[in-house]
Structure 1
């Protein structure tokens, strides 16, 4: 056991209450993580990426493209109603063609008495589809059931909720797993267990990393709000207000569930080399909601099922609220299901963690950890 490891362990004693011991363990987890240069850099990059992504998307979405067009004679009156055209007058069709050749304009619209439309478009080496579409007569379309949110915005919201959940849960879940195995491998856990119970240690780890994950999600949300405000997307910001608040609530509880699973899975092994294999099933549970909302964000049945499954409710329910698909009582029911599932998982994870924590050597199976008698 290294001197640094000894200094980093919480100074707990038998006279401390459960709450005091949990607070000390949580403080240790938070300080160890916050002081890490890798954590500081990765968090900064993530915040900058979210802010830049929102701003760039807003700017690109609000920018309208224009097509420079030369017109001849009375044609100007026929095309001036089209949006997105920068019109330049030319004396003749030949003059308009020369303007295309020298790059002054992208295309030209000239009179053509033989054409049913009485006009003709001249271009360089390919048909200007944007100009053709603008000059075409489009029939009016009436939707009987218009979507409340545009497909593009629906996808962006799905991606946002999914990627934030994936990054935060995987990052801090992996941190918990690494911490558990490191303490077992260096035998620090034997000293810790002599001062606090395994339940206290597990609770402190979950609480500390949950607070960090919560803080990170709040910061990411703040960056998104700043980006939307900067680009003037006030309507989008207003629509995302309630879903983002629900996302934070669901994420905090959902992360506690996943954190308990990461800790329990990591306690089954004693070497850092074995961590990845034992936490892979939990990592897959973290990835599933992300891929579901990316590929099935337009499938209402899939989103409804997701909103009532504990490990995916943090993504599914806020997205349904954003899409105005959830009744007022559904988030409350989903939250109750999530809380119930979290309590059940914590009880099982605490038993596995306590029974496997002091076991070294070969990997302990889940069945063996549930059956054996460990430390409390």
Structure 2
């Protein structure tokens, strides 16, 4: 019971020292603003791309009969037409100022007056309506019914049937891919930042010789456990705030409203794999940091571990979207070092069964005790070592 109290005491100290500082709060606030701004910008460009095109045109009196056809064609193509009637005398000035086009002349072969270049979609609308008008005139001249012919032509369209299943997520590079990349990127940032904090904290205490005072009353294993727990709480707060800001902004802007993506499940997966990923990698950062005694040497420990984080991140980012349910992907996602990145990515593509998820969690939990032994052994034998960098083999060989 005393050991648990000691661990919590160290953890509270780490939270105050690492999270409640002005520099950390300012940087976290800037990150939150960046996340929210990024989602808002994405929503702006997405809505900009999907907004219905709008054209303002004017018709001469002799081409006014094209108006019903133009309105019907525009409605069929999700285009908005603002149509008015205007005389030729004022047409040029109006086209220069605010009109997209002025249409005059023979309805079967109209003249389109524009300020510079005509929009392709607008030209297609006018061309289609003029051709329909010409065909209707010819049919009427032959004694037929132009309305019946127009209806038959409108109904003469191919019926497309695809053998591929509909993908509600929007395909490989659709919203599912975006959510997956966002999830794993937030996780990578949290693990790297918290791992670096743990490593720097261990080396700072060694350099200042504070650790010698602490170890006079606290066992090394309790000191390391409290440090990892405290910084883990800091990392979890960052993950929840950043992930919550992204998901909340997406919900507020309806960025993914048209897609069947469960953002709540995505957030829960981030939190779950942050816990497991943090337990795996934080132990390595904390234990191996005790091998060095100077801040200048900390890169020799953090660089290999950071590289170890980037390998599964890039494997997940490039392999899963292309092959989310292949045998190789399924096997790699069960390896504890790969699981924190590959499982959230595969879940975003709905490629993970409940059995696979449970097995990956069990394997990760089973790995943690082994890593606890490795990290505590290295930490206890290296934390009081001074001088040059201790080799890993020396830490295990020392009694």
Q: Same fold (TM over 0.5)?
A: yes
159, 165, 177: which one aligns with 2:181:
159
Equivalent residue runs for 1:15-26 within 5 Å: 17-26=2-11
Whether contact under 8 Å (1:83, 1:134) holds in the other structure is no
> Is residue 346 from structure 1 mapped to residue 341 from structure 2 by the alignment?
no
Match of 1:310 in 2: 336
How far residue 355 of structure 1 moved from its aligned partner, in angstroms, is 1.6
Greater Cα radius of gyration, structure 1 or 2: 2
Instruction: Tell me the distance in 2 between the aligned counterparts of 1:207 and 1:133.
Output: 65
Aligned position for 2:347: 321
How is 1:44-55 mapped onto 2 (pairs within 5 angstroms)? 44-55=29-40
Q: Name the residue aligned to 1:198.
A: 220
Change (3 A) 1:303 1:133: farther
Is the alpha carbon distance of 1:146 and 1:188 closer, same or farther for their aligned partners in structure 2, counting shifts above 3 Å? Answer: same
- When normalised by structure 2's length, the TM-score is 0.77
Structure 2 residue corresponding to 1:330, chosen from 356, 360, 366 = 356
Match of 2:99 among 98, 101, 104: 104
Q: Is the contact made by 1:304 and 1:317 (CA closer than 8 Å) also made in structure 2?
A: no
Q: What corresponds to 2:136 in structure 1?
A: none
Task: Give the stretch that moved more between structures: 334-343 or 69-78.
Answer: 69-78
Q: Greater CA deviation, 47-56 or 229-238?
A: 229-238
Q: Which runs of 5+ in 2 are unaligned?
A: 129-153
- What residue number does 1:208 align with? 230
Task: Specify the alignment match of 1:223 in structure 2.
Answer: 245
The answer to whether the 8 A contact 1:289-1:306 is kept is no
Match of 1:128 among 119, 126, 136: 119
Contact 1:247–1:315, Cα closer than 8 Å, also in 2: no
Q: 1:252 to 1:111 in 2, by over 3 A?
A: farther
Other-structure match for 2:166? 146
| 8 A Cα contact 1:25 1:205, kept in partner | yes
Q: CA deviation at 1:134?
A: 8.1
State the alpha-carbon separation in 2 of the partners of residues 109 and 315 from structure 1.
59
CA distance in 1, matches of 2:391, 2:104: 79
1:274 lines up with 2:297 in the alignment: yes
Question: Aligned pair in 2 of structure 1 residues 179, 62: CA closer, same or farther (>3 Å)?
Answer: same
SS in 2 for 1:80: helix
* TM-aligned CA deviation for residue 26 of structure 1: 1.0
Note the C-alpha offset of 1:286. Answer: 2.5
CA distance in 2, matches of 1:220, 1:68: 41
User: How far 1:178 moved relative to its partner?
Assistant: 0.6
Which whole-Å CA distance do the structure 1 matches of 2:54 and 2:315 have between them?
39
Does the C-alpha gap of structure 1 residues 75 and 346 become closer, same or farther in structure 2, counting only changes over 3 Å?
Answer: farther
Distance 1:315 1:71, change over 3 A: farther
Residue pairs, 1:241-280, within 5 angstroms = 241-280=264-303
* Superposed displacement of residue 231, structure 1: 1.8
- Distance change >3 Å, CA 85–CA 17, structure 1 → 2: same
Cα distance in 1, alignment partners of residues 233 and 375 from structure 2: 19
Cα deviation, residue 90, structure 1: 5.4
Q: In the alignment, is residue 176 of structure 1 matched against residue 176 of structure 2?
A: no
Classify 1:288/1:121 alpha carbon distance in 2 versus 1 (closer, same or farther; 3 Å).
farther
TM-score by length of structure 1 reads 0.81
Shift in CA distance, 95/70, structure 1 to aligned 2, threshold 3 Å: farther
Preserved contact between residue 253 and residue 338 of structure 1 (Cα < 8 Å): yes
Is the 2:184–2:345 contact (alpha carbons within 8 Å) kept by the matching residues of 1? no
Q: Give the conservation status (yes or no) of the 8 Å contact 1:310–1:342.
A: no
Shift of 1:174: 0.9
Bigger mean CA deviation after superposition, 269-278 or 280-289: 280-289
Instruction: Supply the distance in 1 between the matched residues of 2:89 and 2:350 (Cα, whole angstroms).
Output: 56
Contact 2:287 2:378 in 1 (8 A): yes
Alignment correspondent of 1:367:
393
CA contact (8 A) 2:377 2:396 kept: yes
Q: Is the 8 A contact 2:194 2:235 kept in 1?
A: yes
Deviation at 1:250, TM superposition (A): 1.5
Mapped to 2, the partners of 1:260 and 1:42 lie a distance apart of 25
**Alpha-carbon deviation of 1:273?**
1.0
Deviation, 1:287, is: 2.8
Cα distance per residue 1:205-244 (max 9 Å; x no partner): 1111111111222222332343133224556696111222
Contact in 1 for aligned 2:333/2:360 (Cα 8 Å): yes
Q: C-alpha root-mean-square deviation of aligned residues, in Å?
A: 3.3
The residue aligned with 2:55 is 68
Contact 2:317 2:345 (C-alpha < 8 Å) held by counterparts: no
